[in-house]
């Protein structure tokens, strides 16, 4: 039998499924799931493959919704839109802009599909905003029986809440209804700052700015601060400056430096210090999604945990101290973002305003010791892992972190009693 090849963005997950199918209608999705269930096969749905964990990995059936990415309906009066779940965020944002609409917040890239972004609770930064799943107000799922189920706050609420972050374990989301806001412009300011001062003022910055985040450069006390606020000022686009900082510095030059670090890891501290010295103050004004989303051409692996907002400063300080004490070979900056708490059972921000701290390692460099050390620190602060990023928690540990864990599992077992959507990775997460 001909085998297909599937890999995620970072190359850390690879598999050879017996089929990768690209349905062109919801009916086809139902038929694929029904046939797989009948034959006792596992079905995993893939978005853009931008997760770092084995969520999509299977040697059986992968369903890609790349041909189901259309816009179903836009209502400019209620500011809602229904889109097919395979739609990529870059395409979605361009389309919404034409209708004068916008998602209230976005993560720092736009290559994901909306179904995949929702699947893992993808988020941006901004204390007034929950993750992207919290922007979904209605979902249409193809469940393990092949049935099409609609759910929202008003209809099948239990399924809806569980499905808002469900990693493709409840079924294949085929349509997403989104709550939107009028299109907005953001004034984006980037500047260099001091780590200790930022730790003290961080929460105040997050409260005073629509979006605030910072990056800590290892082996330094330097951070890059990012402030984004709504404005009605005219667009300020500096094509050359943007290309210089976003393409040349953050991608091309960073790629060269990263390859040098991979060759000689002992260079990492010096390279991190060098990178910190290159931070320059920049400013631009553009439509929200054009500044919220950035280019990420340098490939890496990543771990991220959400910790209660009050514990964020202690957690990142502990990570900084540990890296320096142990001499960990890492040059990638550590990202620190703010996300509003929500009521989604498997959202890492369930019930608490959170700080999401992300640690990265260049593709091809060993990440295990670094990530395990950071994970020990995150766990000290009741951290919950990002579902799309690397972690080592067991089903029991996860159950202890999520008050509604068992309700989620009940909904999952009701919808998929035979585990059609469970691959070995999800089985280990959910069933132990
Ligand atoms: C360079 C880079 C930058 C990133 N930036 C951020 C960021 O700023 N914020 C953040 O939170 N995360 C970020 N991530 C992580 C990323 O947003 C998530 O891993 C996201 O889930 C990837 O979306 P995807 O479309 O690639 O989905 P995939 O990785 O393909 O799938 C993710 C999960 O969703 C499920 N899924 C996909 N489509 C559907 C569907 N239609 N129905 C049901 N389930 C589905 C899959 O089965 C899988 O379990 C980043 C990742 C990378 C590589």
49 lines ligand 1 (CB under 6 A): yes
Instruction: Count the domains in the chain.
Output: 3
23 lines ligand 1 (CB under 6 A): no
**Which atom belonging to ligand 1 lies closest to the Cα atom of 387?**
19
What range defines the domain where residue 50 resides?
6-64
**Whether residue 83 is found in the same domain as residue 24:** no
CA-proximal residue: ligand 1, atom 19 (nearest): 51
121 CA to centre of ligand 1 in angstroms: 8
115 lines ligand 1 (CB under 6 A): yes
48 CA to centre of ligand 1 in angstroms: 7
163 lines ligand 1 (CB under 6 A): no
126 lines ligand 1 (CB under 6 A): no
**Whether residue 140 is found in the same domain as residue 82:** yes
258 lines ligand 1 (CB under 6 A): no
429 lines ligand 1 (CB under 6 A): no
Report the CATH number at residue 14. 3.30.43.10
Q: Which of 47, 151, 362 to mutate to test the pocket of ligand 1 (most atoms within 8 A of CB)?
A: 47
For residue 426, being part of any structural domain is answered with: no
48 lines ligand 1 (CB under 6 A): yes
For residue 304, being part of any structural domain is answered with: yes
**Whether residue 161 is found in the same domain as residue 246:** no
**Whether residue 78 is found in the same domain as residue 16:** no
Residue ending a domain, choose from 125, 160, 182: 182
Residue in 137, 159, 132 with CA at minimum distance from that of residue 148? 159
117 lines ligand 1 (CB under 6 A): yes
Neighbouring-strand partners of residue 358: 304, 335
**Whether residue 149 is found in the same domain as residue 261:** no
Beta-carbon count within 10 A of 404 CB: 18
Q: pLDDT tens digits for 145-157?
A: 999 999 999 999 9
**Which atom belonging to ligand 1 lies closest to the Cα atom of 48?**
26
For residue 80, being part of any structural domain is answered with: yes
167 CA to centre of ligand 1 in angstroms: 9
The percent helix, strand, coil of the chain (3-state, each to 5) is 35, 25, 40
**Whether residue 215 is found in the same domain as residue 343:** yes
**Whether residue 223 is found in the same domain as residue 323:** yes
Identify the pLDDT of residue 2.
67
**Whether residue 273 is found in the same domain as residue 143:** no
**Which atom belonging to ligand 1 lies closest to the Cα atom of 299?**
1
For residue 412, being part of any structural domain is answered with: no
Query: Is 415 strand, coil or helix?
Result: helix
Which letter, b or e, does each residue of 44-70 get, where b requires 16 or more Cβ atoms within 10 Å of its Cβ? bbbbbbbbbbbbbbbbbbbbbbbebbe
Report the CATH number at residue 298. 3.40.462.10
**Whether residue 267 is found in the same domain as residue 302:** yes
Report the CATH number at residue 154. 3.30.465.10
For residue 390, being part of any structural domain is answered with: no
For residue 97, being part of any structural domain is answered with: yes
For residue 305, being part of any structural domain is answered with: yes
Residue ending a domain, choose from 362, 385, 408: 385
Beta-carbon count within 10 A of 3 CB: 10
Pairing label, strands 43-46, 61-64: parallel
The residues near 137 (Cβ < 8 Å, ≥ 6 apart) are 80, 152, 153, 177, 178, 179
Identify the pLDDT of residue 240.
74
pLDDT in tens, the chain (432 residues): 567 999 999 999 999 999 999 999 999 999 999 999 999 999 999 999 999 999 999 999 999 999 999 999 999 999 999 999 999 999 999 999 999 999 999 999 999 999 999 999 999 999 999 999 999 999 999 999 999 999 999 999 999 999 999 999 999 999 999 999 999 999 999 999 999 999 999 999 999 999 999 999 999 999 999 999 999 999 998 777 777 777 767 788 899 999 999 999 999 999 999 999 999 899 999 999 999 998 899 999 999 999 999 999 999 999 999 999 999 999 999 999 999 999 999 999 999 999 999 999 999 999 999 999 999 999 999 999 999 999 999 999 999 999 999 999 999 999 999 999 999 999 999 998
- 341/197 Cα distance (integer angstroms): 25
Helix axes 268-277, 254-263, angle to 10 degrees: 160
For residue 124, being part of any structural domain is answered with: yes
Encoded tokens for 324: 């320096």
165 lines ligand 1 (CB under 6 A): no
Identify the pLDDT of residue 118.
97
| Beta carbons of 291 and 186 less than 8 angstroms apart | yes
CA-proximal residue: ligand 1, atom 22 (nearest): 50
Neighbouring-strand partners of residue 227: 189, 212
Query: Is 43 strand, coil or helix?
Result: strand
Enter the pTM of the model.
0.97
Q: What are phi and psi of 175, to 5 degrees?
A: -135, 145
**Whether residue 91 is found in the same domain as residue 233:** no
**Whether residue 210 is found in the same domain as residue 333:** yes
**Whether residue 248 is found in the same domain as residue 139:** no
Residue ending a domain, choose from 154, 182, 210: 182
CA-proximal residue: ligand 1, atom 50 (nearest): 50
Q: Which of 10, 12, 13, 50 to mutate to test the pocket of ligand 1 (most atoms within 8 A of CB)?
A: 50
Kindly state the DSSP code that residue 169 receives in the 8-state scheme: S
């Amino acid at each position: 039998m001909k085998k297909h090849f599937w890999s995620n963005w970072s190359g850390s997950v690879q598999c050879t499924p017996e089929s990768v199918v690209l349905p062109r209608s919801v009916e086809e999705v139902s038929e694929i799931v029904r046939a797989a269930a009948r034959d006792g096969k596992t079905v995993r749905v893939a978005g853009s493959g931008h997760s770092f964990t084995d969520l999509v990995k299977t040697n059986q059936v992968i369903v890609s919704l790349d041909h189901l990415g259309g816009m179903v309906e836009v209502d400019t009066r209620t500011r809602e839109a229904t889109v097919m779940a395979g739609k990529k965020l870059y395409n979605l944002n361009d389309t919404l802009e034409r209708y004068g609409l916008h998602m209230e917040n976005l993560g720092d890239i736009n290559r994901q599909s909306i179904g995949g972004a929702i699947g893992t609770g993808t988020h941006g930064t901004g204390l007034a905003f929950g993750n992207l799943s919290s922007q979904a107000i209605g979902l249409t799922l193809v469940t393990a029986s092949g049935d099409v189920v609609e759910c929202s706050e008003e209809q099948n609420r239990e399924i809806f809440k569980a499905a808002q972050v469900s990693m493709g374990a409840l079924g294949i989301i085929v349509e997403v209804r989104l709550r939107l806001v009028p299109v907005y412009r953001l004034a984006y300011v980037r500047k260099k700052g001091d780590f200790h001062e930022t730790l003290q003022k961080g929460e105040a910055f997050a409260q005073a700015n629509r979006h605030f985040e910072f990056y800590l450069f290892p082996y330094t006390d330097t951070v890059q601060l990012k402030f984004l606020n709504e404005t009605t000022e005219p667009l300020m686009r500096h094509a050359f400056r943007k290309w210089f900082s976003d393409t040349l510095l953050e991608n091309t030059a960073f790629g060269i430096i990263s390859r040098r670090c991979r060759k000689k890891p002992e260079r990492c501290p010096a390279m991190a210090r060098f990178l910190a010295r290159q931070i320059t103050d920049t400013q631009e004004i553009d439509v929200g999604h054009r500044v919220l989303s950035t280019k990420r051409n340098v490939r890496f692996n990543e771990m991220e945990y959400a910790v209660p907002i009050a514990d964020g400063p202690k957690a990142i300080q502990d990570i900084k101290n540990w890296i320096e004490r142990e001499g960990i070979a890492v040059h990638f900056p550590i990202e620190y973002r703010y996300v509003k708490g929500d009521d989604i059972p498997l959202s890492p921000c369930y019930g608490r305003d959170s700080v999401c701290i992300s640690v990265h390692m260049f593709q091809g460099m060993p990440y295990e010791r670094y990530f395990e050390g950071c994970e020990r620190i995150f766990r000290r602060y009741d951290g919950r892992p990002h579902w799309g990023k690397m972690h080592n928690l067991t089903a029991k540990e996860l159950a202890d972190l999520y008050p509604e864990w068992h309700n989620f599992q009940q909904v999952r077992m009701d919808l998929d009693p035979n585990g059609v959507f469970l691959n070995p990775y999800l089985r280990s997460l959910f069933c132990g």
